[in-house]
Amino acid sequence: MSAKRFYEIFPGFLTWSAILFPLVLSSFAPKPVVIFILLFDLYWVYKSLIMGIHLITGYNKMKQQVKIDWSVKLKTLAKKSVNLDKIYHVIILPTYKETLETLEPSIESITSADNSAGKMIFILATEKRDQENARKIAKILRKKYQKYFWKFIITEHPVIRGEVKAKGANVTWAGRKLSLFLRSQHVSNENVIVTTADADTRFHKKFFDCLTYNFITNPNRHRRSFQPIPIYANNIWHAAVFARILAFGSSFWQIIESTRPWRLINFSTHSVSLKALEEMDYWDTGVVNEDSRQFWRAYYKFDGDHQVVPLFFPVFMDAVYAKSFKLTVKNQYLQRLRWAYGIEHSPYIWQNTFKKNKIPFWDKFVRLFRFMENNFSWATASIFIAILGWIPLVLNPGFGSTVLAFNVRFYSSYLLSLAWIGLLVSAIISMKLLPPRPQGMHKLKWLEMFAQWVFIPIVAILFSSIPAIDAQTRLMLGKYLGFRVTDKEVVR
């Protein structure tokens, strides 16, 4: 067995062992299982309360960042002999079978945003395998929006042997075309900020000024990437209950991680200098999840001298929403499966951890541990909390009458009731992140939005644990996952 296959198998083996071992042990030795349950519940309550504190902190910081007049801060820099005109913003919007209804609001958010710096370049990164649809849409978008940009570029990524048909390959093709163009214009790659976004990403009006300020004032800007916070709320009022919970949950996780920058990893929309991109040979063309892989590539390429800078600034995206409930369930599951397939980085991270000797031992192994722990918890935590506690009682009925079993049930219930404090925090902040209620929608809809959080134990198992187990099992068995664009109906 090769080392690569071992590291592909290991996460799934670990997860399945953790799930199956208590089942086997409960029938003849239930005591270790219930003690583990109690300890795990204690750990999870602690983790929930800590995350609740970080969520409040991150949300408040995001509110403060949005209130800042970044154009004034940039003018102050300009008075200190900083030449803002030399800065170029590049926005790459990859598209595959996307509609005008999805793309236009995203482009309009860019054209209406403040940009106190230099020139702005827009790249619509299309796929040759979607040639007929893409060329038709690109023609319409160029005619309507090219006047707002210094350059409006359309790229068409061909099918290339050895590449995964995914976003990373598409934006890499676009990035290379960008470099050729800018060299012909004698533009230094050190002054170019490249932002990659999803097709449904809508930028806050102040986003680019905030990004410019953070880029210019960071002395190590070419070893940093800049991460806004994705808020999945564009169509949140129309989404199904489970889709809303998962949308807010994803946003909350990014808010929480932004308060812990030593843990933060690129996700979805992010920005980096063209100089760094060229040194890294752009994005990875052989993986499904190019955003998180980009962090690891930079971290190892620059011998640990790479960090993600949290902007605490929102970009707005769509929750999963389809024409029918059944299709919404399918799309939501497949989206979570694709995200959980970030476990595909396991061989890359393990092998580079042992290979990169210039990175401090403690730093690289702590990052490896966090990666493994995050994916393990993703797959198992919801199941441990909701189901595992009942297994010894079901498989060993006589154990249920013991003092230990009674005490474990009592203390577990007490501990998990404390975890609802963190859930209450999530419910309150979700209400604050809601966009204006659509005209014609009943006023009491907000009650449903608040009460929906009682379903999180079920939603977490169905759309977090199971997709994560699915992803790890696929990798373990060598049944590799391809990229699939999540269908999202546009609500006008």
Look at residue 302 and tell me if it is in a domain: yes
Q: How far is CA 316 from CA 34, 66, 108, 342, in A?
A: 43, 13, 13, 22
pLDDT in tens, 163-206: 988 899 999 999 999 999 999 999 999 999 999 999 999 999 99
Q: Read out DSSP for 424-461?
A: HHHHHHHHHHPPPPPTTS-TTHHHHHHHGGGGHHHHHI
Rounded to whole angstroms, the Cα distance separating 25 from 269 reads: 45
Rounded to whole angstroms, the Cα distance separating 369 from 420 reads: 28
Look at residue 390 and tell me if it is in a domain: no
Rounded to whole angstroms, the Cα distance separating 327 from 486 reads: 11
How much is the pLDDT for 413?
Answer: 65
Look at residue 449 and tell me if it is in a domain: no
398 compared with 83, residue with greater pLDDT: 83
| Tokens linked to 487 | 């269908």
pLDDT in tens, 401-416: 676 666 666 656 666 6
Q: What angle do CA 82, 84, 88 make, to 5 degrees?
A: 135
**Residue at token pair 């800042």:** 68
Q: Where are the alpha helices (DSSP H) in 281-402?
A: 290-301, 325-340, 346-355, 361-386, 391-395
pLDDT band at 344 (very low <50, low <70, confident <90, very high): very high
**CATH code at position 77:** 3.90.550.10
Strand partners, 308: 225
Could you tell me the pTM of the whole model? 0.91
Look at residue 413 and tell me if it is in a domain: no
| Tokens linked to 65 | 């960042």
Residues 242, 455: contact at Cβ < 8 Å? yes
Q: Which residues of 52-69 are buried (b: 16+ CB within 10 A; e: fewer)?
A: bebbbebbebbeebbeee
% of the chain with per-residue pLDDT over 90? 66
The Cβ of residue 352 has, within 10 Å, a number of other Cβ atoms equal to 18
Look at residue 199 and tell me if it is in a domain: yes
pLDDT in tens, 442-466: 778 878 888 888 888 899 999 999 9
- Number of domains, the chain: 1
312 compared with 398, residue with greater pLDDT: 312
Residues 227, 258: contact at Cβ < 8 Å? yes
Residue 435 identity (one-letter amino acid): P
Look at residue 211 and tell me if it is in a domain: yes
How much is the pLDDT for 368?
Answer: 96
Look at residue 273 and tell me if it is in a domain: yes
Average pLDDT rounded to a whole number, residues 136-164: 94
Look at residue 318 and tell me if it is in a domain: yes
Q: Domain limits at 169?
A: 68-324
